[in-house]
Amino acid sequence: MAENDIKSFDFDGFAKDLSGQAGQVIPADLKPQDKAFIIDIIYRFCKMAGEALTKEENSKLNADEAGLITQFIGEWIFHKSVDVTRANIDIKYREGILQKVAFTVFDIAKKAVEKQMPQEQLINLVEAQVKKCFAKTMDELKEKGILTEEVAKNALLQSNIDAMAQEQVQEEIEQESACISDEKMIKLASLAVLMKGFTSEKMKNILQKFEKPERDVLIKYLKLPDLEEKLDAKAMIRCFEEMKNTLPETVVVSNEKIFKKMCKIVKNSDKTKILNIIEKERPVVHDYVLSCYERRRKNIPPHIADVISKYLEENAS
């Protein structure tokens, strides 16, 4: 038997390893009986999934792929177990909820792995389907009168996976910031809050101006969704004022200069391509771009004209 053959997958040992690892990271605020429930259900569900995969006739999977699918199940059962526990859902209903989550992960992950979907896409797909499944299950239990509106809503607000991700990012920030002053850290965090409203291109341009480790810390801060809530408001406002005073004054480009630049782009491009680019844009964009063919400039604010011109330049090249 080949070493990576599906039949060589030790699903029982793998399930024990996953449940053992989960036991090491279960939040400290959970009660002993809740912790025991989580460890047990991860083991049982992962073992059942692994066994089903190895016994499937004419399986297209190998042992590594079976392990990946089983691991997805273990990780999501762990996170949702914590969520239903913190939402105070009666323990007698938890297994039914988690069974639906496990089946969803098994079905989606198995199909995606068989199609050789890139792992990043697979992670996003599974997460989206788990959230959808969990929300639907909460609605069903609410309709049956098993859960109150308050408990169901509280369950949907829980997200252990996001909490753990934030903790990990915070730990990474602390490790990477050892040689950065506290004042610089506050400035980087404040800048990250400001950057969250920027386009990805503008973010990229700003990040390129920083060297390690400041750039790495800034990237980590951008991953924290509630960053502004963790910062001292007065310190953040002070940093904003300092940034405002150090930034160069905005250079105002005349509308006429922008229009000439755009007309050059339009003139050097195929008209059909230009029309395809602006096909789904708003009427004001249509009129402004098409006016190049008639050499009659539309009067629109320079900053909007500049955005349209740059968009056309990027897509027409």
Whether residues 186 and 79 share a domain: the answer is no
Same domain, 128 and 54: yes
Asked if 77 and 116 sit in the same domain, the reply is: yes
Per the domain annotation, does 115 fall within a domain? yes
Whether residues 265 and 239 share a domain: the answer is no
Whether the pTM exceeds 0.85: the reply is no
168 part of a folded domain: no
H helix count then E strand count, the chain: 16, 0
Supply the DSSP symbol for 8: G
**208/147 same-domain check:** no
Contact by Cβ (8 Å): 11, 46: yes
The predicted-structure confidence for 135-155, as pLDDT tens digits, reads as follows 999 999 999 999 999 999 999
For the segment 295-299, the average pLDDT, to the nearest whole number, is 68
- 10 Å CB burial of residue 3 (0-12, 13-18, 19+) is exposed
Examine the domain organization and report whether 308 and 236 are in the same domain: no
Shared-domain flag, residues 271 and 141: no
Q: How many domains does the chain have?
A: 3
Q: Could you tell me if 14 and 147 lie in one domain?
A: yes
The answer to whether residue 173 is domain-embedded is no
pLDDT tens-digit readout, 149-196:
999 999 988 888 777 776 776 676 666 666 677 788 888 888 888 787
Residue 42 lies in a domain: yes
Nearest 5 degrees, angle CA 264-CA 270-CA 271? 90
Residues 99 and 223 placed together within one structural domain of the fold: no
**CA dihedral of residues 198, 201, 202, 207 (deg, nearest 10):** 110
Question: Are 299 and 214 in the same domain?
Answer: no
User: Could you list the residue range(s) of the whole structural domain that residue 25 is in?
Assistant: 6-158
Q: Are 151 and 195 in the same domain? A: no
In the predicted structure, residue 104 carries a pLDDT above the cut 90: yes
Decide if 76 is inside a domain. yes
Boundary-marking domain end, from 246, 265, 296: 246
Average pLDDT for the chain: 84
| Same domain as 123, residue 18 | yes
Task: Give the domain-ending residue among 246, 267, 293.
Answer: 246
